[in-house]
Homo-oligomer: A and B are copies of this chain.
Amino acid sequence: MTFPPKDSVGYVYPQTVVFQDTIELESKGYLKGFQLAYETYGTLNNDKSNAILICHALSGDHHVAGYHQCETEAESLKTVGWWNTMIGPGKPIDTDIFFVVCSNNLGGCSGSTGPSSINPETGQQYGTDFPIVTVNDWVKTQAMLSDHLGIKQWAAVAGGSLGGMQALQWSIDFPQRLRHCLVIASAPKLNAQNIGFNDVARQAIRTDPDFHNGNYYSVKTTPSRGMRVARMIGHITYLSEDMMALKFGRSLRKKSKFDYEFTPEFEVESYLRYQGDRFVDRFDANTYLLMTKALDYFDPAAKTNDSLKEALTGVKADFFVASFSSDWRFAPERSREIVRALQSNRVNVSYSEIKCDQGHDSFLLNIDDYMNVMFAYLRRIAKEVGELS
């Protein structure tokens, strides 16, 4: 087997753009300049009409497809992008047709300016001095990246979960700058339960003695216990009850009977602890806190008396909205709220409710019905922008 696989974008390389000017954020906080890390796949056509912007979710980054080149193929294999199932030659978001861009959100920990970056005003890492960022701020800074790339209008802006919220906000803030808006496994705002889970995760991190009020970098520690618990909670909400039953049930961990101890008895305990441990190694706690706060704050209808219809009045894009039957974090009903608001504004919207067991994580997975509707919708976009006849 050749590596990288032929249906992937192959080895990819992150790029960086630096913006020198001070930016004021929705929170009234500011940054004296910042940088965004991003990746691109495929080729921008001459009239720059075939570009698709991907927005990432809570723990994602700009590395959305392909592989990073490591010393060995085995190591490279592990670097696969988070939406590699969706993006590549011949895949739904076909890089033989489209020019695909994804940036690491401001406040991130994968190359864009974030809490672990050096604050030019102090010469120290920002830590808790990093301002709160919101979905609106991300859209604003992604628009700056668009300008940098010379892309006046995206063929589509697409995202799942928190990424879907960014796509939705794009359609409100820059109605002329996207032809299509793809909002997948998302919601028009968090509900009290969603906020509750976020706050438990934050409290786990912020009360970890190794958090040091957010300035743990200087003491060379990290709130790993809190991050681990936060990720374990998150993981339960990403999976469906049925999927967990199917995947783990009450299977015991490498044994035939109980030990009656606090070591893992059940497979599901091992799995969640492993997921928690792995996350600690790859993600910055302050960034995690910021991302969950951005989720909490997102509520485009807040400015229009809680009328989502009114918030979406100025929208020009056509919409693709998809939800997953077993997703209880952002259940199909939450997507239907978006669909109804769009329809009442007579916006062209295509809605798919995919029947599957995998819960919220479905948006990242290779599920036939999902791939097929995405493929069909993206082909329609390709025709519109003159890349397919």
Contact = CB atoms under 8 A, between A and B. Distances in A.
Interface of A: 26-29, 131-132, 189-193, 195-197, 199-200, 202-204, 206-209, 225, 228-229, 232-233, 235-236, 239, 241, 244-245, 247-250, 258, 260-262, 264-266, 268-269, 272-273, 276, 289, 293, 296-297, 299
Q: How many copies does the complex hold?
A: 2
Contact of A268 (B29, B195, B299): B195
Nearest to A209: B209
A193 B273 contact: no
Given A229-B203, A233-B200, A273-B203, A258 B297 contact: yes
A202 B261 CA distance: 12
Contact of A250 (B192, B206, B236, B258): B192
A196 B297 contact: no
A272 B193 contact: no
A262 B193 CA distance: 18
Secondary structure type dominating chain A contacts: helix
Contact of A203 (B200, B208, B228, B260): B228
A293 to B, nearest CB: 8
Given A193-B236, A193-B241, A29 B203 contact: no
Contacts of A261: 132
B192 A28 contact: no
Contacts of A191: 241, 244-245, 249-250
Given A233-B233, A289-B262, A244 B204 contact: no
B195 A269 contact: yes
13 contacts: A191-B244, A192-B241, A192-B268, A196-B244, A196-B268, A196-B269, A199-B264, A199-B266, A202-B262, A206-B262, A265-B296, A265-B297, A266-B296
A297 to B, nearest CB: 6
A129 to B, nearest CB: 13
Counting from the closest, the 9 A-B pairs by CB-CB distance are: A27-B260, A192-B244, A207-B225, A132-B260, A192-B248, A192-B268, A199-B269, A200-B232, A193-B241
A193 to B, nearest CB: 5
Contact of A236 (B27, B196, B202, B239): B196
Contacts of A202: 262
A273 B208 contact: no
Contacts of A225: 207-208
A265 B190 CA distance: 13
Nearest to A199: B269
A204 B247 CA distance: 24
